Amino acid sequence: MKQHITMAAILERGGRIFLVRPQPGAPWELPSGPLPPGVDDVDEEMDRILQRLGVHAPAVEEDFLQTHYFPAEDGQVVYNLYAPTGWQGEPAPPPGVGSGWFTLDELDAIDLLPGVRQAILEAFGLVQPPDRTGEILAALGAELAEAVREPAAPASSAARAAGLDVLRTLGGRDPGAAFQDLRRTAPELAEDIVDFALARGWSSPVLDRRTRSLLVIAMLAAQGRTGSPLRSHVEGALNHGASPAQVIEVLRMVAVYAGFPAALEAWPVMEEVFARRGIPRPGRTEAAP
């Protein structure tokens, strides 16, 4: 199933919503744009879309609201909705693109793209989101059934290349050498790790690699897996551009939601990586010899 990733913004001023339409007679829609190929940071792309419109949002990365999923002929639209706060400027769409300001009450009287009206009303708390649990479970069931039916096949060169690229950015070293190390230490699992876990698990542009690394740290720490997997993913998060402060905050969240023992078990692993990289830790008291 193909995914079309779109970023859209609710620009509200004086109780009115800014909408655009590409041509006369077309449905109205929120200011939006697709995620271009090769781009994996949806926040930055949303910022670029707003800038092209003449709008400045000071902290768009904090303005993400919700993801909606709309059906498409060849798959689905992943609709990432933002609600910029403190935005400035006068929205000015390109020539030939219509625009207007509408109250929430007027949305029922205009032609909106399917799903957009519901997304806007949900954002303002005027309607409850539909319960899609059944749809999600059905989709997961279909995916699992398809996986069972498909016979095992040799990895494609594209999958191997994708997996090696993740191995390169995750480990910060030559991926070929890292792959050979995997083959020596876990010969039966090496190809599964690279061709499936890394190639498929890390390939979607919906989450960038920094975010994925931070998520893996949280999951490993919550499970108490504080050995080499956690160490390698703390290293990987830093290699993917996460700051030491972000890694610390992840473990603080682990303490809140998975318990302080889990965070305390993971903390020395993080400190070990920081020390090896020469990352200063102001205020940290070293134990007496």
- The chain-wide mean pLDDT, for the chain, equals 85
% of the chain with per-residue pLDDT over 70: 88
Question: What fold characterizes domain 2-133?
Answer: Nucleoside Triphosphate Pyrophosphohydrolase (3.90.79)
Band of pLDDT at residue 152, cut at 50, 70 and 90: very low
* CATH 3.30.2010.30, domain 204-289, yes or no: no
> What pLDDT does residue 73 have?
84
Verdict on whether the full-model pTM lies above 0.75: no
- Asked whether residue 1 carries a pLDDT value surpassing 60, the answer given is no
% of the chain with per-residue pLDDT over 90: 44
| Average confidence (pLDDT) over 262-287 | 83
Question: In the chain, where are the structural domains located?
Answer: 2-133, 152-203, 204-289
- Asked whether residue 90 carries a pLDDT value surpassing 50, the answer given is yes
Most confident of 95-109, 121-135, 137-151: 95-109
Contacts made by residues 112-117, CB under 8 angstroms, sequence distance 24+: 112/19, 112/27, 112/28, 112/29, 113/27, 113/28, 113/29, 114/70, 115/68, 115/70, 115/77, 115/79, 116/8, 116/28, 116/29, 116/30
| Average confidence (pLDDT) over 181-209 | 84
